[in-house]
Amino acid sequence: MAKLSRLEVYNLMGATGLVPLFSHSDTGVSKKIIDACHRGGARVIEFTAREYNAHMVFQEMSDYIRNKYPEMAIGIGSITDAASASTYIQLGADFIVTPVFREDIAIVCNRRKVAFFPGCGSLTEIAKAEEYGCEIVKLFPGAVYGPEFIKAIKGPQPWTSIMPTGGVSPTKESLKKWFEAGCICVGMGSQLIKQDASGDFDYDKIENSTKECLKIIKQLNAA
């Protein structure tokens, strides 16, 4: 079961403005990535269910965070059906992320009072997601729509909270465009948690990049 309420998750996302996301089949590597992100200041992290053993890795990560970083929220991404959402909620997911809006997943999450962030690509989809109780929607793929899309949505719907994922870089130039457009936070994967040609991670670099991103976001939100 989720250790944090959905309100706590929303507040963490709004306070930090960054959701690092990654996928890996090795539990040890995944824990090191979590450690690096936490040292960098991240308090929300998304694990994407793309590996064949994703549920096993996620359960160990969930237990690890629950015991070592109780103030940190961990969610599961790339979920495509209600049964999978229910499974990961049982394994400790604090939030569910999907590439598209799914009514069946929204119902499951609402019933369990777990935060749900669906991928949306139109005002109609966003409005429907909000009708189903989604406080924050994911703009995906962000690179296709761009910051201007958020700015346009916030015109008629200033209450809408949007998290772009895909197309966000850990640079001041990129972050400035998204936050000035009105996003509440950004999801960042391979641009933040990079592998070298051998598939290895530089954990110090992940920590420093996370720290720098959060510093930039804080400055932007204070402006």
CATH code, 168: 3.20.20.70
Residue 1 lies in a domain: no
Measure the CA–CA gap between 108 and 118, rounded to whole angstroms. 13
pLDDT tens column, 196-217: 888 899 999 999 999 999 999 9
Instruction: Name all contacts of 123-132 with Cβ < 8 Å and 24+ positions apart.
Output: 123/153, 123/156, 123/157, 125/101, 126/153, 126/157, 126/160, 126/162, 127/157, 128/101, 129/101, 130/160, 132/103, 132/106, 132/107
Domain count, the chain: 1
Residue 123 lies in a domain: yes
Range of the domain at 102: 6-222
pLDDT tens column, 62-89: 999 999 999 999 999 999 999 999 999 9
Q: What is the pTM of this model?
A: 0.96
Residue count of the chain: 223
Measure the CA–CA gap between 70 and 93, rounded to whole angstroms. 13
Residue 36 lies in a domain: yes
* 44 touches 72 (CB < 8 A): yes
Residue 56 lies in a domain: yes
